[in-house]
Structure 1
Amino acid sequence: MRKILVVGAGQAGLMLALGLQDRGYDVTVVSDRTADEIRGGRVMSTQCMFGTALAHERDFGLDLWAGAAPDVLGLGVSVAGPDGGRAVDWVGRLDAYAHSVDQRVKMAAWLDLFAERGGSVVVHPVGVADLEWYADRFDLVLLAAGKGPLAGMFDRDPERSPYTRPMRSLAVSYVHGLGPRPEHDFPAVRCNLVPGVGELFVIPALTLSGPCDILFFEGVPGGPLDVFQGVRDPQAHLDLTLRLMKQFVPWEYDRAAGGVALTDAHGTLSGRYTPTVRRPVVELASGGLVLGVADVVVANDPITGQGSNNAAKCAALYLAAIEARGAGKFDRAWMTETFEAYWAHAAAVTKWTNAMLAPPPAHVLTLIGAGTAHQAVADRFANGFDDPADFEEWFYTPERADAYLAALGGPSGAVGEP
């Protein structure tokens, strides 16, 4: 029986561990926290998993929250106008529902499930010396501790990493009590764009205490939303979030008029990181090899909500590659080939995410504006969150955007330059 070590108890690491366990591998998971510590800790992320990623979870037998998590049926875009109103406001229908499950709920449950099924769980912070020890005792070592210090062992790939600094300041609040958007009669992720300032995303989700909403600000560094550093008190964090909503996205602030409250004392998060693609393999001093997984090797800004989706797709691809390897050695060539197969998907995500972090060119403003008049544009944009490769066909160049809009009857409702 082949022995595999997974370092990290997140979306990709636990999916891989449970999938390998189900197929008869001898799997050990190393986590820096127990399931109870995860469950009782601070929120770790925002997340919204779309149809393809959820299908992978179902294939793994891990879709444990169907019927409990709110079904997200659409994705809407609003653009703030100079008068404080909305210059653009539309919502696209998703072809398949999406779900957002607090990772404290999901990862704690999956870690418990892995242990209940006989998996070995080691609770211990991992350093380089530990990896040396593990590499000598396991057939394959997978590092899935996405944004931890060990990710820095993997060299940055400059050709695939155009940014050298954080492009957004991030601030998250999980809340109860947010009212519905009165103009739409189905649950949707709301993307509110404030030109030159940043974005507010509102995500229907499931947390420890039931259904909730996630308020997620992405602020341009140095701008008016980049003010959460040093805010440690959760209520002060929420109060600041609400003040900024009232100033920049008052239509969303109106939903809080009935009173909102944090879901729990650990329901806030803030920070920033540099979007980075890393080389997939690290060779240890002993000669042992470590393969990076998901966010370890492709860490995009969360502006397009792709982190957990990428993680699920990476886990499914890596699992298939491990099975296909049979008794063959997990050498550098195999590791590189496996990552490149994942990169064939992740490249499209990275291109789209990096494009959304930059000031939008005129043709993108026209496309966003056209979503108001053309439901097909709104729906296609929404479903691009599930399949970002589709943006290549209509989004990146003026020529393809013009051809697409012409086929729909011409551009309409263009957004002015910020």
Structure 2
Amino acid sequence: MRKLLVVGAGQAGLQIALGLQSHGYEVTLLSNRTADEIRAGRVMSTQCMFHTALQHERDLQLNFWESQAPDVEGLGLSVAGPDSGRAVDWLGRLDGIAQSVDQRVKMAGWMEIFAQRGGRLVIHGAAVSDLDYFARTYDLVLVSAGKGELVSMFERDASRSPYNAPQRTLSVAYVHGLGPRPEHPGLDAVRCNLVPGVGELFVMPAYTHTGRADILFWEGIPGGPVDAFKGIRDPSEHLSLTLELMEKYTPWEYARATKVELTDAGATLSGRYTPTVRKPVGRLPGGGAVLGVADVVVANDPVTGQGSNSAAKCAAAYLSAILEHGDKPFDEAWMQSAFDRYWETARPATEWTNAMLAPPPEHVLNIIGAAGSLPRVADRFANGFDDPADFDHFFYDPDKAAAYLESAAAEA
């Protein structure tokens, strides 16, 4: 029986571990925290998973919270205009529902299921020196812990990493008590609010351990007015600042947030990081090699909500590559080929995310504006969150964008 080690208990690491376990592999999972510590800790992300990523979970029968999480049926976009109003406001309908489950709930639950099914769960914060030993003990070591010392083993891919510094500051609050959007009170949707020169506010329905919730997520341009959360440790102060910025820059969202309260004491998070693509093979001091997983090798800014989606797609790609490989050795050539399979979906997500971090060119503004009067354009933009590869056909090139808008208007 093949022995595999997964280092890191996030979306990708656990999905791979549980998938391999279901196919009879001997899997060891290393986590630096217990399930109880994760469940009682601070929120980790702003995940909203779209149809393709959710289907990967369904395929492994890991969709334990699907009946409890809100069904996200659309994605809306607003652009702040002068005088505290909106220059653009529309809603696109998704072809398949999206959902957001607090990763504290999901990761803790998946860890417990992995252990209950006979997996070896080791609570240990692994260092590079540990992996030197493990690489000689296991047939394959997969590193899915996306922070700290282990990431330094993976070389930055300069050709795929256009940014050398964080492009946004990130601040998150999970809340209860948010009112419905008046424009669509009976439909749950992710709302993306673009504030030129300031940043973006995302509002997304979610499920956490205290039930239905909503996530208030500011992405601020560094040095701008939303870059104001550094040093704030008190959760209530964090929420107060979040609401203050909403009242000033997105008053239409603030109007439904006047009665919100935090879901729990760990419901806030802030930080920043540089979007980076790294080479997939990590080489150890003793000569061994390990394979990087998900945001270890492709860490995109969350402005397009691709993190957990890409992690699920990476796990699915790696799982298929492992199962197809049979008893052959997991050498560096195989590791590169497994990553290349993942890059087929990661490349479009990365290109789109990097584009959305820059000031939008005129043809993109034309697409966003046209979506307000052309529902098919709004729907296509919304469904690009599930399949970013579709943006290749109409989003980046001015001529393609103009031709698409012309055809959409003609068919309206």
With the shorter chain as reference, the TM-score category is over 0.9
Contact (CA 8 Å) 1:370, 1:411: kept in 2 or not? no
CA distances 1:21-69 after superposition (whole Å, capped 9, x unpaired):
0100000000000000000000001000000000000001100012100
User: Structure 2: which 5+ runs fail to align?
Assistant: none
Deviation, structure 1 residue 411: 12
Deviation, structure 1 residue 410: 6.6
Partner of 2:17: 17
- Tell me, in whole angstroms, the C-alpha distance in 1 between the residues paired with 2:92 and 2:409: 18
Superposed, 1:108-257 pairs within 5 Å as 108-184=108-184, 185-257=186-258
TM-score w.r.t. structure 2 length?
0.99
TM-score w.r.t. structure 1 length?
0.97
Contact (CA 8 Å) 2:374, 2:409: kept in 1 or not? no
Contact (CA 8 Å) 1:48, 1:203: kept in 2 or not? yes
CA distances 1:328-376 after superposition (whole Å, capped 9, x unpaired):
0000000001101111110000000000000000010111011110000
- Tell me, in whole angstroms, the C-alpha distance in 2 between the residues paired with 1:377 and 1:147: 38
Deviation, structure 1 residue 147: 2.8
Partner of 1:351: 351
- Tell me, in whole angstroms, the C-alpha distance in 2 between the residues paired with 1:408 and 1:388: 19
Contact (CA 8 Å) 1:367, 1:411: kept in 2 or not? no
Deviation, structure 1 residue 146: 1.7
Deviation, structure 1 residue 152: 1.9
Partner of 2:395: 395
Q: Which amino acid aligns with 1:159?
A: S
- Tell me, in whole angstroms, the C-alpha distance in 2 between the residues paired with 1:224 and 1:190: 21
Give aligned-pair identity as a percent: 66
Q: Which amino acid aligns with 2:365?
A: L
Query: For 1:163, what is the secondary structure of its paired residue?
Result: coil
Contact (CA 8 Å) 1:179, 1:255: kept in 2 or not? yes
- Tell me, in whole angstroms, the C-alpha distance in 1 between the residues paired with 2:118 and 2:67: 28
Q: What is the root-mean-square deviation of aligned Cα atoms in Å?
A: 1.1
Q: Which amino acid aligns with 1:310?
A: S
User: Structure 1: which 5+ runs fail to align?
Assistant: 413-418
- Tell me, in whole angstroms, the C-alpha distance in 2 between the residues paired with 1:152 and 1:100: 30
- Tell me, in whole angstroms, the C-alpha distance in 2 between the residues paired with 1:45 and 1:74: 20
- Tell me, in whole angstroms, the C-alpha distance in 2 between the residues paired with 1:197 and 1:295: 26
Superposed, 1:18-417 pairs within 5 Å as 18-184=18-184, 185-257=186-258, 259-409=259-409
- Tell me, in whole angstroms, the C-alpha distance in 2 between the residues paired with 1:410 and 1:156: 46
Deviation, structure 1 residue 11: 0.2
- Tell me, in whole angstroms, the C-alpha distance in 2 between the residues paired with 1:200 and 1:344: 29
CA distances 1:277-330 after superposition (whole Å, capped 9, x unpaired):
000001212221110000000000000000000011110110010011100000
Partner of 1:415: none
- Tell me, in whole angstroms, the C-alpha distance in 2 between the residues paired with 1:251 and 1:152: 43
Q: Which amino acid aligns with 2:277?
A: V
Query: For 2:137, what is the secondary structure of its paired residue?
Result: coil
Q: Which amino acid aligns with 1:95?
A: D
Contact (CA 8 Å) 1:405, 1:411: kept in 2 or not? no
Q: Which amino acid aligns with 1:364?
A: V
Contact (CA 8 Å) 1:80, 1:88: kept in 2 or not? yes
Query: For 1:28, what is the secondary structure of its paired residue?
Result: strand
CA distances 1:160-200 after superposition (whole Å, capped 9, x unpaired):
00000000000000000000001113100000000111000
CA distances 1:241-265 after superposition (whole Å, capped 9, x unpaired):
00000000000000013x1100000
- Tell me, in whole angstroms, the C-alpha distance in 1 between the residues paired with 2:66 and 2:404: 36
Query: For 2:58, what is the secondary structure of its paired residue?
Result: helix
Contact (CA 8 Å) 2:15, 2:315: kept in 1 or not? yes
- Tell me, in whole angstroms, the C-alpha distance in 2 between the residues paired with 1:137 and 1:96: 43
Partner of 1:416: none
- Tell me, in whole angstroms, the C-alpha distance in 2 between the residues paired with 1:402 and 1:148: 45
- Tell me, in whole angstroms, the C-alpha distance in 2 between the residues paired with 1:75 and 1:49: 12
Query: For 2:372, what is the secondary structure of its paired residue?
Result: coil
Q: Which amino acid aligns with 1:317?
A: A
Q: Which amino acid aligns with 1:33?
A: R
